[in-house]
A = this chain, B = another copy of it.
Amino acid sequence: MDTQRLLAVARGDQPADLVLRNLRLVDVFSGTSRPGEIAVCGTRIAGIGPDYKGKEEVDLQGRWVCPGLIDAHVHIESSLVRPREYGRAAALRGVTTVIANPHEIANVFGVEGVRYMARDGKRGPCHILLTVPSSVPATPLATSGAALGLDDLARLREDPAVVGLGEVMDYSGVIAGKEQLFREIGLFRDRVVDGHCPGLTGRGLAAYIAAGISSDHECTTAQEARSKLQCGMRLFLREGSAARNLRDLLPVLTPAVERRLSFCTDDLSPGDLLHIGSIDHMVRLAVKAGVPPMLAIRMATLNPAEHFRLEDRGRIAPGCRCDLVVVDNPLDFRPFQVYQAGRLVAQGGELTEKQDDTREVEEPERLRRSVAVDWRQVDLTVPAKGERIRVIGLVPDQLVTRHLILPVSIENGRAVADPQRDLLKLAVVERHRASGRVGLGFVKGFGLRQGALAGTVAHDHHNLVAVGADDRSMLTAARAVAEANGGLAVAVGEQVLCLLPLPIAGLMSDLGIEEVARRAAELDAAAGNLGTPLRDPFMTLSFLALEVIPDLKLTDRGLVDVQRMQLVPLFPAD
């Protein structure tokens, strides 16, 4: 950036590269709007009108101009596409910066995976910044493909795309005073340290915050959110494909507390990102729920920028990046144009630049060989050892589950799925080291009447997870995704009904997001045909293995009681 030229344009001594005219400027500082003009020099805003001259001038015909939206926390891998593809879809939505935590690929490929995400993220029309994944692996209660040690964190910290330490998920470890975690946090003491502590309140919360954690995005109730706000946490209100918390959390919003709140999506399915939206969708939802548009926009711009100390964005001001969203009106907030770093990247719902395949970053070949399962050792049968069994109870639209204890269905001395009772079998097959280890359990609320689903996306360890009405279907689906070097599949009996290969780390497709969304929809339809009422059954499936979100989860090592952070037997002692 040539500061001399920027200032010459600001002073009016040189013409701007671009002047946006006849617009209504959203002033996030005062939460008001006013007519204005914006003079752009290269990637930056040089001044705010009137009367700047530009080499190019655009008449916005009275439209509203907001700062580009910021997603405070997202796992790009959840959208099943590479960062460049994620960025294309996000930019269409007016999201010009995302703070991505490449936690999923880190659990498969460690530093190499994180570096890949940073490199590939530079290719798209959305600025992808990273937090360094903490807690990789999340806990010792599952088998990951890789670990990030302190040295790895220290090296990644120096990457220019890195803004802080990502959600410190092992909150029990932090509270208990695990020195390793203190050292991780200490490395990022002068940056930002994000948190993750679903349901945590009281003294545990005090200890977690006292350790140096500054944010949380896992609140599900207004009461929980208030407790965390009172203790000084900044909150990211989340509206993702698997966790829709915005409506429940909006009651905490007051003019005084608003600055402590940002928006995030956390995990978005490719279809939701393309067809429903991202942070733009949250702005619309908030406004629809009665939030004044100026406050909704601040939660999507200035607030996350302040949290991450990004003084160069989330606002329209001299010297800042020219990241802008132009909308017809702020009530329905449909992006008419999107500018990123001074370039018009989207207009009328279309990207202005073709995907530039000449700039293709090919992922290292190793990233395409991430699935190793020794099928000879894999056995899904569950000998019946009692009359009652632990069951993971789904909670609609939440990542948290219930820890149920239900009567077991037995056939030939084995505990089996019983679709009529909506009791399905769940298996997590270790897929990084061909250990043959399988965790087995049961789940209620998934609703399959027959067949099975399987996938290599299974937070956070990303083993191979399968759910089904019978073992044969489960094995068919599981083998299909393994043979594709990762993916998602639906099967009945010996037949694979539908398969989406995810060859990059078993997490991401190498196709465009539109194609991935189409095929993901086919998968969902196939799963729906088998009876599941879930909106996004594969995302739900992928979170059933996440042993840091209460109450009961399954890993390759077995059932985890998350509240107590320990493995528990499938058949409870009476």
Contact = CB atoms under 8 A, between A and B. Distances in A.
6 contacts: A3-B182, A7-B210, A47-B203, A214-B311, A231-B317, A306-B306
Given A12-B203, A203-B12, A209 B260 contact: no
A6 B315 contact: no
Given A260-B29, A306-B306, A10 B206 contact: yes
Given A11-B175, A27-B230, A206-B318, 14 more contacts: A7-B175, A7-B210, A29-B260, A30-B226, A30-B254, A30-B256, A44-B210, A46-B210, A47-B210, A48-B206, A210-B319, A232-B316, A255-B256, A256-B295
Interface string A178-206: 00001000000000000000000001111
A209 B312 CA distance: 11
A32 B256 contact: yes
Nearest to A205: B318
A257 B255 CA distance: 10
B232 A29 contact: yes
Contacts of A315: 232
Nearest to A209: B318
A371 interface: no
Interface secondary structure of A, over-half rule:
mixed
Nearest to A204: B11
Contacts of A214: 311
Given A29-B229, A47-B210, A255-B255, A4 B177 contact: yes
Nearest to A229: B29
Contacts of A257: 29-31
Interface string A145-161: 00000000000000000
Interchain residue pairs A-B with the least CB separation, the first 4: A232-B317, A31-B256, A47-B206, A210-B319
Nearest to A254: B30
A207 interface: yes
A177 B47 CA distance: 15
Interface residues of A, number: 55
A309 interface: yes
Copies in the complex: 2
A39 to B, nearest CB: 8
A259 interface: yes
Nearest to A259: B259
Interface string A295-327: 100100000001001010001111110000000
A294 interface: yes
Interface in A1-43: 3-4, 6-8, 10-12, 27, 29-32, 34
A320 to B, nearest CB: 7
A212 interface: yes
Contacts of A211: 3, 7, 319
Contacts of A8: 177
Interface string A242-261: 00000000000011110110
A300 to B, nearest CB: 15
Nearest to A258: B256
Given A30-B229, A31-B257, A46 B206 contact: yes
For A7, A206, A211, the residue with the greatest tally of chain B CB atoms inside 10 Å of its CB is A206
Contact of A230 (B6, B48, B229, B306): B48
A214 B320 CA distance: 11
A203 B311 contact: no
Nearest to A292: B256
A89 to B, nearest CB: 29
Contacts of A319: 209-212, 232
B11 A209 contact: no
Nearest to A31: B256
For A4, A45, A230, A295, the residue with the greatest tally of chain B CB atoms inside 10 Å of its CB is A230
Contacts of A256: 30-32, 255, 294-295, 298
A237 B429 CA distance: 62
A306 B210 CA distance: 18
A102 to B, nearest CB: 23
B209 A317 contact: yes
A452 to B, nearest CB: 44
Contacts of A206: 10-11, 46-48, 318
Contacts of A212: 319
A12 B260 CA distance: 27
A100 B99 CA distance: 34
A44 B211 CA distance: 11
Contacts of A47: 203, 206-207, 210
A210 B254 CA distance: 32
Interface in A420-460: none
Interface string A403-421: 0000000000000000000
B175 A207 contact: no
A311 B10 CA distance: 33
Contacts of A48: 206, 230-231
A254 B10 contact: no
Contacts of A29: 229-230, 232, 257, 260
A27 B254 CA distance: 13
